[in-house]
Amino acid sequence: MAQGLLLVISGPSGVGKGTICKALRERNHEIVYSISATTRLPRPGEVDGVSYYFLSPQEFLEALEKGDFLEWAQVYGNYYGTPAWFVEEQLAVGRNVILEIDMQGAMKVKQTYPHGVFIFVLPPSQEELARRLIGRCTDAKDVIAKRLAAWKEEMKTIDNYDYAVVNDEVELAVKKIEAIIEAERCRVARRNRD
Amino acid sequence: MAQGLLLVISGPSGVGKGTICKALRERNHEIVYSISATTRLPRPGEVDGVSYYFLSPQEFLEALEKGDFLEWAQVYGNYYGTPAWFVEEQLAVGRNVILEIDMQGAMKVKQTYPHGVFIFVLPPSQEELARRLIGRCTDAKDVIAKRLAAWKEEMKTIDNYDYAVVNDEVELAVKKIEAIIEAERCRVARRNRD
C-alpha cells in the first residue's frame, strides 16, 4: 500500500489556515488531523486521544527524550508536541494526515520529516491580512500591528515550502490543495519510497 | 504574468500518450501543442506553422547550430526537431505547452529545459501494454516482441521524470495531469522563477 502524505499547512496567523483545513476535511473525510500531545489539563468535554493526548510532564519529557515528537514547544508553562507515533501509524496505513501549524513549528517538522508536503497559505495581499486580523476582533490593536510587522519577516521563510496557496476564496484554495495531494501521489520520488 | 508550463508527456509506445494528450486538450483549450520542425516534404493538407514548420535541410542545420531546438533527431534521412522559439513564445505569454515525445527525446528536452514538467505515462501492467500493442494491429509480431523487450529497459528511465501517471482509464489519467498542472502552478520554486 502507498504511504499516506503528511500535509503541513502553515502561514501567518489570520490567513485562514483553520478555515481551509476544516473545509478540506469536510470534502475529504479520509484525511485525518494530527492529534497533539500536551501537558496542560483537559478542559471539560476534551477527550484523551481525540482532542489531545494528555500526558504528565514526566511522560512528555520521556517521549521528548526518545525523539517521539515531530516538533514541540513550551507555551505558558505547558508542553505541546506533535507525536510522531500517531502520524506514522496513519501514514503507514495509507491515510493522509493534516497538520495545521505555525511557521516555526512547520520548519521543525521539516527537519524531522522532510518528506512532508509543506504548504504555505498566503493572504491575497498584506492589506487583506490586516483587514482579516481586525475583522476577527479577537486581537488587541498592538497585537495586530506586531503581527503585520512580523509578516515581512515570515514571508522570507516561504522558500522552505513546497507550495504556496493564496487564500482568496476558501473553495479555490481547498481545490488547489486537493490538486496538490493528487499530484504528490503521482510523484516519481514518492513511488520509490513506497 | 506567470510563465506557462512545458508539459513533457512521454512513455513507452502503445501506452496511450496520444489519446491522453488529445483528451487533455479537448478539456483544456488553453493548452497548446508544441509544433515540430521537419525537413520532410509537406503531405497533402499539411500547413506550414500548423502541422509542422517545414524547413529546408540548410535552414534546419543552421537553426540546429544556433541551438534553436529543445531536441532533434534524424529519422529515415529527414530531420525532426522541437523548436525552442515556439515553446518559449507560448510560455512567455503564460500558455501551457504540451510536448508528446518518446523517452529519448524527453531526456534531451530535460537537458535543454530542466524546468519542464516531465510526466511518464505507464500502462496498468506489462500484460496490458502487450494487449494494446496487439490490439492496434498496426505492428508486426516481431516489432511487438521487440517493444516489450525494450519495456524493462525503458522503465529504468522513470527516475528522470517528475511524475508517473498510470493510464488505466483515459479520463482518470487526464484528471491526474490536470491536478499536476494546478499543483505545479502553486510550486514555490516556480514563483521565484517568474
pLDDT of residue A185: 95
pLDDT surpasses 80 at B6: yes
Cell numbers 515556439 correspond to B86
Cell numbers 496505513 correspond to A93
- Residue A41 DSSP one-character state: P
A183 touching chain B per CB within 8 A: yes
Q: Chain A: nearest CA to B171, how far in angstroms?
A: 14
CB spacing of B179 vs A175 below 8 angstroms: no
Average pLDDT on B23-37 reads 93
B162 touching chain A per CB within 8 A: yes
Q: What are phi and psi of A17, to 5 degrees?
A: -55, -45
Return the C-alpha cell found at B46: 499539411
List the end-to-end C-alpha distance of chain B, in Å, as a whole number: 8
Helix-helix angle A170-186:A17-27, to 10 degrees? 60
- Contact call for residues A6 and A90 (beta carbons, < 8 A): no
Percent residues over pLDDT 90 in chain B = 68
Give the residue from A189, A194, A177, A117 showing the smallest Cα distance to B162: A189
B176 touching chain A per CB within 8 A: yes
pLDDT surpasses 60 at B178: yes
The residue of chain A with its CA nearest to that of B193 is: A159
**What is the 3-class SS of chain B, one letter each residue?**
CCCCCEEEEECCCCCCHHHHHHHHHHHCCCCEECCCEECCCCCCCCCECCCEEECCHHHHHHHHHCCCEEEEEEECCEEEEEEHHHHHHHHHCCCCEEEECCHHHHHHHHHHCCCCEEEEEECCCHHHHHHHHHHHCCCCHHHHHHHHHHHHHHHHHHHHCCEEEECCCHHHHHHHHHHHHHHHHHEHHHHCCC
Give B164's contacts in chain A (Cβ within 8 Å).
186, 188, 191
pLDDT of residue A137: 63
Task: ipTM value, please give it.
Answer: 0.84
Report pLDDT digits (tens) over B102-124: 888 999 999 999 999 999 999 88
pLDDT of residue A7: 97
Which of B164, B187, B192 is closest, CB to CB, to A163? B187
Helix-helix angle B170-186:B17-27, to 10 degrees? 60
Return the C-alpha cell found at B65: 547550430
pLDDT of residue B47: 93
pLDDT of residue A192: 61
Give A165's contacts in chain B (Cβ within 8 Å).
186
Q: Chain B: nearest CA to A166, how far in angstroms?
A: 9
pLDDT surpasses 70 at B14: yes
pLDDT of residue A5: 97
Return the C-alpha cell found at A93: 496505513
Domains in chain A, start-ordered, CATH in brackets? 1-31+96-194 (3.40.50.300), 35-95 (3.30.63.10)
- Residue A175 DSSP one-character state: H
pLDDT of residue A8: 97
Which of B162, B175, B192 is closest, CB to CB, to A187? B162
Q: Chain A: nearest CA to B143, how far in angstroms?
A: 29
Question: Strand B37-38 relative to strand B53-54: parallel, antiparallel, unpaired?
Answer: parallel
The segments of chain A whose pLDDT lies below 70 read 1, 136-139, 192-194
Identify the residue with better confidence: A145 or B95: B95
Q: How confident is the model at residue B1 (pLDDT cuts 50, 70, 90)?
A: low
Taking the complete model, does pTM exceed 0.90, yes or no? Answer: no
pLDDT of residue A148: 77
Q: Chain B: nearest CA to A189, how far in angstroms?
A: 7
A107 touching chain B per CB within 8 A: no
pLDDT of residue B130: 73
CB spacing of A161 vs B188 below 8 angstroms: yes
A72 touching chain B per CB within 8 A: no
B182 touching chain A per CB within 8 A: yes
Average pLDDT on B159-187 reads 96
Residue A36, SS3? coil
Q: What is the mean pLDDT of chain B?
A: 90
Give A175's contacts in chain B (Cβ within 8 Å).
182
Q: Chain A: nearest CA to B160, how far in angstroms?
A: 8
H or E element at residue A164? strand A163-166
